Amino acid sequence: MTDKKTIQGIPTKFDARELNRRQQQHKAAYQQTSQCCEIIRGAIPQQFLQAVSDKIAEGYTLSKYPITMESLNYSAQLVKPPAMQEVDIATINNEVREAYRAELEASHEDYKQRLFAQLVQAEESKQAAKAQAAKDKVYADLKRQADQTYSPLVFPEA
């Protein structure tokens, strides 16, 4: 026999504060890591410096990350301008929102599936009890018929 299925609680509901907390957490991670940067590379110093100069003119700034000045491998991470960061953050906020929505939908679907399983189990239990009661009734009737068919055994006393 399987364990009786029961569900407790309710699925998680949308909470604007939770969504905002998650978005702020991802925004902070974006701003405090190299996600807010773009890597600029150049094979020769002049090419590299020109690329950096062009990006600085577009509003990029130097980051806290080290600049690589190895021969034939010049690179630096520059912080994106605020307008570009806002676009990235808007994208991150949408991704976080969709992930939160998917999480809530999955929670609701899980509760529905567990409730369905609980209801199926309860219905199967009712049907089994009805079937057993009908079977017991038939067997009792058959036993009564068998008892009526044969008279009691008469065995003489010694």
Q: From CA 109, how far away is CA 15, in angstroms rounded?
A: 18
| 95: in domain | yes
| 58: in domain | yes
- Give Cα 143 distance to the centre of its chain: 58
Percent pLDDT > 90 in the chain is 82
The alpha-helical segments, DSSP class H, found in 58-149 are: 82-149
| Number of separate domains in the chain | 1
Q: Which residue type occupies 3?
A: D
Q: Is the pLDDT of residue 2 over 70?
A: no
* Mean pLDDT, rounded, for 56-63: 97
| 155: in domain | no
Q: Is the pLDDT of residue 1 over 70?
A: no
Structural domain boundaries enclosing 69: 16-148
| 1: in domain | no
Q: Is the pLDDT of residue 96 over 90?
A: yes
| 53: in domain | yes
| 27: in domain | yes
| 111: in domain | yes
* Mean pLDDT, rounded, for 68-96: 96
Q: CB–CB of 79/62 below 8 Å?
A: yes
Q: From CA 61, how far away is CA 11, in angstroms rounded?
A: 46
Percent pLDDT > 70 in the chain is 99
Reference 26, options 121, 98, 103, 95; nearest CA is 95
pLDDT of residue 33: 95
Interval 109-150: pLDDT, tens = 999 999 999 999 999 999 999 999 999 999 999 999 988 888
| 33: in domain | yes
> In the 8-state DSSP scheme, what is residue 75?
E
Query: Which residues is 78 bridged to in the sheet?
Result: 38, 62
Q: Is the pLDDT of residue 11 over 80?
A: yes
